[in-house]
């Protein structure tokens, strides 16, 4: 997934004092890659929280192209700076696309979950799945990375972040021309997948 800059939705200067923070640490799927600003699922989440009268504010620390190693290295400073009540971890897809070892991905996600919980935050892990051409065995082992981390570190888990987006019969319908990044029409569906699990943590 292509490189891009980070997308921080709320900074300490414009955050309401005392408002609980939801920190999103992800890759291009959360960083509005190829989308108009304000149309990604994280921006839609901000609006949904406001409409529902939730006091939470969202900090989107996602970077397109990021891996679990990148997220792991960035997380301690983010936890210290933002002191989040909830951390949403949306990473791992780029690890697989780059052929990185699954045990490394699992270790990085586990470390991020542990550090977040030690900082007093609840954790929601957004799971991913690989396309069929990666093979059934690899696909199963990749799914198990997320379930194992969630079970061992007692985090909330959304098994497949791109449900009803990445598993459609027509792979072009909800994706940009690169067939990797979801388009604007997919963003409400992605939020719809996240919301039921996130709502339990609010």
User: Looking at residue 3, what is its pLDDT?
Assistant: 43
User: Looking at residue 63, what is its pLDDT?
Assistant: 98
User: Looking at residue 2, what is its pLDDT?
Assistant: 44
User: Looking at residue 169, what is its pLDDT?
Assistant: 86
Does the annotation mark 177 as catalytic?
Answer: no
User: Looking at residue 11, what is its pLDDT?
Assistant: 44
User: Looking at residue 15, what is its pLDDT?
Assistant: 55
* Given 9, 28, 62, 64, the catalytic residue: 28
Q: What is the DSSP string of the chain?
A: -----EE-S--TTTSPTT--EEEEEE-TTTTTTTS-TT-SHHHHHHHHHHHTT---EEEE-EETT--HHHHHHHHHHHHHHH--SEEEEE--HHHHHTT--HHHHHHHHHHHHHHHHHTT-EEEEE-----GGG-HHHHHHHHHHHHHHHHHHT-EEES-TTTTTTTSSSTTTTB-TTSSSB-GGGHHHHHHHHHHHHHTT-
**Residue 142: both structure tokens together:** 């990749």
Q: Quick check: pTM over 0.75?
A: yes
User: Looking at residue 57, what is its pLDDT?
Assistant: 97
* Given 9, 66, 95, 181, the catalytic residue: 181
Comparing C-alpha atoms, which of 167, 164, 159 is closest to residue 140?
Answer: 159
Provide the Cα torsion 95, 96, 100, 104; round to 10°.
70
Does the annotation mark 54 as catalytic?
Answer: no
157 Cα distance to chain centroid: 11
User: Looking at residue 9, what is its pLDDT?
Assistant: 54
Q: What is the mean pLDDT of each run of 10 residues along the chain (202 residues)?
A: 47 65 98 97 97 96 98 98 98 94 97 98 96 88 97 97 93 91 98 98 96
Does the annotation mark 178 as catalytic?
Answer: yes
């Amino acid at each position: 997934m292509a490189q891009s800059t980070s997308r921080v939705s709320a900074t300490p200067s414009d955050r309401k004092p005392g408002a609980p923070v939801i920190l999103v640490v992800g890759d291009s799927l959360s960083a509005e890659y190829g989308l108009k600003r304000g149309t990604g699922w994280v921006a839609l989440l901000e609006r949904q929280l406001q409409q529902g009268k939730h006091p939470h504010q969202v900090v989107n620390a996602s970077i397109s192209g990021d891996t679990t190693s990148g997220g792991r290295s960035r997380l301690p400073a983010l936890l210290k700076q933002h002191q989040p009540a909830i951390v949403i971890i949306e990473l791992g897809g780029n690890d697989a696309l780059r052929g990185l070892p699954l045990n490394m991905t699992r270790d990085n996600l586990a470390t991020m979950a542990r550090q977040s919980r030690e900082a007093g935050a609840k954790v929601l892990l957004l799971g991913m799945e690989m396309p069929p051409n990666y093979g059934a065995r690899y696909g199963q082992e990749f799914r198990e990375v997320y379930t194992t981390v969630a079970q061992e570190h007692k985090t909330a888990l959304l098994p497949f972040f791109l449900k009803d987006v990445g598993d459609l019969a027509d792979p072009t319908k909800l994706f940009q021309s690169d067939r990797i990044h979801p388009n604007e029409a997919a963003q409400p569906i992605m939020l719809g997948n996240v919301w039921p699990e996130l709502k339990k943590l609010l």
